[in-house]
Amino acid sequence: MLFAEVGQSLIDFISKLDPLKNIIAYPIMKFTLIHPVSGKLRYIRFIALFVAMAYISGCARIGKKEYQEGKTVYGNKAMVVSAHPEATRVGIEVLEKGGNAVDAMVAVHFALAVVYPAAGNLGGGGFMMYRQPSGEVVSLDFREKAPMAAYEEMYQDENGDIIDGLSLAGPMASGVPGSVDGMLTAHAKYGSLPLKTLLQPAYKLARGGFPITAKQANNYNRYRKTFIEHNRDSTVIPLVKLDGEWEEGELLVQKDLAATIKRIQKSGRDGFYKGKTAELLVAEMKAGNGIIELEDMAKYQAKWREPVTGKYRGATIYSMGPPSSGGIALMQLLKMSEHFSMGDLGFHSPETIHLMTEMERRVYADRAKHLGDADFWDVPKEELLDDRYITSRVKQINPTKATDSEEVLAMKLDYQESEETTHYSIVDANGHAVSVTTTINSGYGSKVFVSGAGFLMNNEMDDFSSKPGVPNVYGLLGGKANAIQPEKRMLSAMTPTIVEKDGKLKMVVGTPGGSTIITSVYQVVLNVLDHEMNMTDAVSAGRVHHQWKPNFIFPERDALDPTTKKALEKMGHQIKDRGSIGRVDAILVGADGQLEGAGDPRGDDWAAGF
């Protein structure tokens, strides 16, 4: 009797293991422990029991996680922080198995394409910053490109007016995707584990499904109408549930996406840029007047770029250069900040917010005029970061009075589109660090799923300046520098950043947030270097944004107290509260070498480390 009771407890224990392991262990345990046997079978029973026990203890050991996970995690060796717990787990498990930071990056990127379709992607693009323990930092540009048939006025009607929404939703909104080539290019140079192994967790998550979070359930239900409006066949949209509403914890299964990942596992780059996937993608585009051709796909190539680098208060900053505006804008902000003692002025004091606003106003004005894809436009990088120029800009700032931004143009104050995009930060056990920001632009990109291939296409064409003086979805202005041209990359604000101090890795940081990306990264760097916050506080702290035009300080609701707001208004600033800004996923290396991973409390963001 006792034997049977112990047996039952053991069986209960096995039932908590992976289902596959149960298939083997469960019948053996049942046979050995519960069924009454006699004679010689008793000896066989003991041998079988021994085998089963050994098997279970093996399973238990394999199933045991070495890592910690949560919103804030400390680790001595390795850390992953991403927008979704499932993707974070995929990454940390690659690192546990001995993979390096680039291996983990590839695994996380593909996993995010499955578990975080709002911004994780195969149909988008992004930027990677990678620091090796030697201190060498490289950056990879896998930003989308304008298709070869694109032209400057493609979003204007015969009167030269912008056709509402054309660059934002539907097949016309998409650029040629760069993510898959970016991941494979980085892996070919720096990866250590086979590509097939690294894509397997994403494949499994797509094929077998994963439980969606409460935020995801709400989001998919909210977007249901939009998805149906923009897709040919509403019955095959993975995020549209045909029989009712999504609920937290329900499994999201994406079989077509699994098949696409399998094709990439099998054929590498050609599994996406040629053959069935490319054909499905081009067919989807053509069905809605899109202009991406098979030749655009075959020609896409990620590019290694020179990182933007500079000093701030004894730290060295590395960030992304054009076609991102992020690196240059961040460095301009930090170089101007060095003229002040931001720490002494106090976190979120009226003086600090005033100065930040005045600096941001000037930097975003430069961005609109001077920044674009450097392959097509002569970006005056040296001039923009020149000390004399920075000093002259600082001298224009009145310490107690707001400057008036020029006349505000047609603006979008309400940010109806969510500023999706997603960032992940990784440090491996040998000190390699990866900072990647990737996007399909606004939430769920163009809203168009490639039928039969299961992934969403980007609406990155909206990041071009469709017409000088007309703001994009983030209210950003642009001119000739960022005008549409065939094969040009649209200007980005993505700012994946690595900070080094005393020759050692100090911080890995980045965020989504459209135009607010640059100012969010800027604030997190200040929070750590000037306001001496730990990573968790630096990430959680309220954020404030200004982008020259429209001429408003946008604080997150409750980020500024009423007295500070009053003081700022007295200086001549206009203030408009808004919803949350950015979702920073970052890692800080402490003086003792300990890693602190922080996932932004604004989302499902999650850290894991050991």
For residues 517-576, which are near ligand GLY according to CB under 6 A? Answer: 517
Q: Binding of ligand GLY at residue 417 (CB under 6 A)?
A: no
Residue closer to ligand GLY (CB basis): 329 or 568: 329
Residue 271 CB, shortest distance to ligand GLY, in Å, is 26
Residue 227 CB, shortest distance to ligand GLY, in Å, is 20
Which is nearest to 317 in space by CA: 335, 340, 342?
A: 335
Strand order in the sheet with 72-75: 72-75, 595-599, 585-589, 504-509, 497-501, 315-319, 308-312
With a CB cutoff of 8 Å and minimum separation 6, the contacts of 71 are: 536, 598, 599, 601, 605, 606, 607
Residue closer to ligand GLY (CB basis): 484 or 494: 494
Q: Of the candidates 146, 169, 336, 494, which one interacts with ligand GLY according to CB under 6 A?
A: 494
Catalytic site residue 226?
no
Q: Binding of ligand GLY at residue 514 (CB under 6 A)?
A: yes
Which residue's structure tokens are 């990359």? 489
Residue 77 CB, shortest distance to ligand GLY, in Å, is 32
Q: Binding of ligand GLY at residue 418 (CB under 6 A)?
A: no
Stated as kind and residue range, the H or E segment containing 17 is none
Q: Binding of ligand GLY at residue 463 (CB under 6 A)?
A: yes
Stretch that binds ligand GLY, among 52-60, 115-123, 376-384, 488-496 (CB under 6 A): 488-496
Residue closer to ligand GLY (CB basis): 421 or 482: 421
Residue 391 CB, shortest distance to ligand GLY, in Å, is 28
With a CB cutoff of 8 Å and minimum separation 6, the contacts of 270 are: none
Residue closer to ligand GLY (CB basis): 72 or 422: 422
Angle CA 89–112–451, to nearest 5 = 140
Integer CA distances (angstroms), 121 to 56, 202, 264, 405, 438, in order: 38, 12, 14, 37, 8
Distance CA 246, CA 537 (A): 33
* Terminal Cα-to-Cα distance of the chain (whole angstroms): 43
For residues 216-235, which are near ligand GLY according to CB under 6 A? Answer: none
The single residue of 357, 421, 438, 536 carrying the catalytic annotation is 421
With a CB cutoff of 8 Å and minimum separation 6, the contacts of 139 are: 127, 128, 129, 130, 304, 305, 306, 307, 318, 320, 321, 496
Stretch that binds ligand GLY, among 270-278, 354-362, 487-495, 594-602 (CB under 6 A): 487-495
Binding pattern for the stretch 428-457 against ligand GLY, x by CB under 6 A and - elsewhere: -----------x-x----------------
Residue closer to ligand GLY (CB basis): 337 or 439: 439
Q: Tokens for 451? A: 């039928």
Q: Binding of ligand GLY at residue 465 (CB under 6 A)?
A: no
Q: Binding of ligand GLY at residue 476 (CB under 6 A)?
A: no
Q: Binding of ligand GLY at residue 600 (CB under 6 A)?
A: no
Residue closer to ligand GLY (CB basis): 100 or 174: 174
Neighbours of 557 (CB within 10 A): 10
Q: Binding of ligand GLY at residue 170 (CB under 6 A)?
A: no
Distance CA 493, CA 511 (A): 10
Instruction: Phi first, then psi: give them for residue 224, nearest 5 degrees.
Output: -45, -50
Q: Of the candidates 493, 521, 598, 608, which one interacts with ligand GLY according to CB under 6 A?
A: 493
Residue closer to ligand GLY (CB basis): 168 or 394: 168
Residue closer to ligand GLY (CB basis): 432 or 549: 549
Helix axes 562-570, 350-370, angle to 10 degrees: 60
Stretch that binds ligand GLY, among 229-237, 310-318, 491-499, 551-559 (CB under 6 A): 491-499
Total binding residues toward ligand GLY, as defined by CB under 6 A? 9
Instruction: Phi first, then psi: give them for residue 267, nearest 5 degrees.
Output: -115, 5
DSSP 31: I
Q: Tokens for 327? A: 């690196």
Q: Of the candidates 174, 277, 405, 421, which one interacts with ligand GLY according to CB under 6 A?
A: 421
Which residue's structure tokens are 């200007």? 491
Stretch that binds ligand GLY, among 87-95, 115-123, 400-408, 490-498 (CB under 6 A): 490-498
Residue 126 CB, shortest distance to ligand GLY, in Å, is 8
Q: Of the candidates 492, 497, 519, 523, which one interacts with ligand GLY according to CB under 6 A?
A: 492
Strand order in the sheet with 303-305: 68-70, 606-609, 79-82, 422-427, 433-439, 125-131, 137-142, 303-305
Residue closer to ligand GLY (CB basis): 75 or 307: 307
Strand ranges in 463-592 using DSSP code E only, listed in sequence order: 497-501, 504-509, 544-545, 554-555, 585-589
Q: What residues are annotated to the active site?
A: 421
Q: Which chain residues interact with ligand GLY by CB under 6 A?
A: 421, 439, 441, 463, 492-494, 514, 517
